[in-house]
Amino acid sequence: MAHTVSDECVACGACADTCPVSAIEVTDKAVVNPDTCIDCGACEDVCPVGAIKAE
C-alpha cells in the first residue's frame, strides 16, 4: 500500500528526509512513488500538517 499526499502539503521536505527508501520527491508538494514505498509510515509520523495518509 502506498501513501497519498493531500493539498495541505507545504512541501517542507520532512517526509523525503525521513523516508528510508527515498520514495518521496518534493517539488510543489510531496509525491510518494508507490513502486518504491515500503509502507513503513515514517512519512505520516513526521508530516507537520498531517498531509500524508495510507492509501
Residuewise pLDDT in 10s, the chain (55 residues): 679 999 999 999 999 999 999 999 999 999 999 999 999 999 999 999 999 999 8
- Its pTM stands at 0.90
- For residue 46, give the C-alpha cell: 513526521
Residue 31's pLDDT is what? 96
Q: Could you tell me the CATH number of the domain that includes residue 41? A: 3.30.70.20
Look at strands 52-54 and 30-32 and give their pairing.
unpaired
The DSSP element (H or E) to which 3 belongs, if any, is strand 3-5
What is the residue range of 16's domain?
3-54
The 8-class DSSP code of residue 28 comes to S
Residue 32's pLDDT is what? 96
Please classify residue 26 by burial: count the beta carbons closer than 10 Å to its beta carbon, then call 0-12 exposed, 13-18 middle and 19+ buried.
middle
Total tally of structural domains belonging to the chain: 1
